[in-house]
Structure 1
């Protein structure tokens, strides 16, 4: 057993076990306790530790990037609900703000490398994380990137970060804490600082409200400047990688009638990390060390 998966949702935890059994993600143990109850000693003997593991997106991303199952890595996608533009935006006062618990375990175990992601609306969260990690002796790099820039047909705009504890050469190469990725989004920046946006970049696309029947006029009214074109009754948006991707048809709903456990499955997929941009971040880090 090389990997530790922490996931307190019973359905997602069982999903993880099935993925492990099929060798689709790194072999390991699934711990259904809340991260609040996990102690540093519980992690002894594990090469990989994946917190808020969901359905194993980070483990799959590591494999896609060529990261061996036996190579040490920690990952954690803290709950985005406190900071998501589609949520209540209670921020640091939200009880689901669980970075302090993840920080506690990182501080005690001092893993060599930590990867994570968060909603692109959470610049203040990322600034806190960077401050905490650098106080612990980590060099941290972060970049905002939407899934569409890594081959997905949806935006899912996120901040991605990597923190390195031991590699002095990487610290030297990344003095400002920034990591470049293979498919540039056009807005590599430090958390908490602003920079000029690419004219074709769509920021915080979660504000669209997928499936609500919005039009190009509504798209423009939200302040987005990416190029949009109509073709054969569909609208397409130009993404930072130069490709055009179709916008969802108006009125689309993920009802999933007749699918067993459809609510749990949709929740698992909705909370999951898209492994494609995650793999790009891991590959960028591997190329930099």
Structure 2
């Protein structure tokens, strides 16, 4: 029996927590996929998966084996792509993670353009505002808008995204327009639940980055939601430019402290350091880096 088939069956079962889904992706029966995994466990002399009637989960040994075999499978796929001369016609699946708002507004249209050029590539899109674990969740490529902190990941910068502090004309008429970032302490602000300290906003004041403490009744983990609350007149928001550019143009929001903006956040493509990038993933990263609409902010 082909050892690669055993490894691929195990990896697909582990990543999808399902023998049925793995069988569909391999084009084999669930019974045969189960036999592949059982034979692999027998050959290794360890149990890789815990199986119940309701769920499939990795054992500790299985998690270790998955981390080691995934790069080998990626390398094998890459080898096949090169041997078959598929540089111009890519094949396979790419698992992508991105923030919900950015994913829907900016990433999805760019991915549609990529898919049109590469009809044999499948794109598995996972949009979420939680910080996903790229390695543990089998993500090939994650898009994030934030300073790079995780040294276990590789990064390619795709562009820059300013942070905009803004409020609606209705809010400013009711509560008054703050004249300086430090006066935000007396205003209702929307706290960003994704930040390490949501009560701290940073501004460029006299050429130095200064922390300003803010407070408010709203705490959001989705920037698009913060923009909507601000446009409704409830509070002041600090959002990535892509979420508020249209509202600023329409006059539904007004930017505050434009002269005190801090350096924009990088929009980055992240991927594991120890994982061999397949041609299809590299091509996608190149496509995103070259797409001028992806990080356009208009503000």
Same fold at TM > 0.5:
no
Structure with bigger strand share is 2
Structure with bigger helix share is 2
Q: TM-score, normalized by length of structure 2?
A: 0.27
Computing the radius of gyration from Cα coordinates, the structure with the larger value is 2
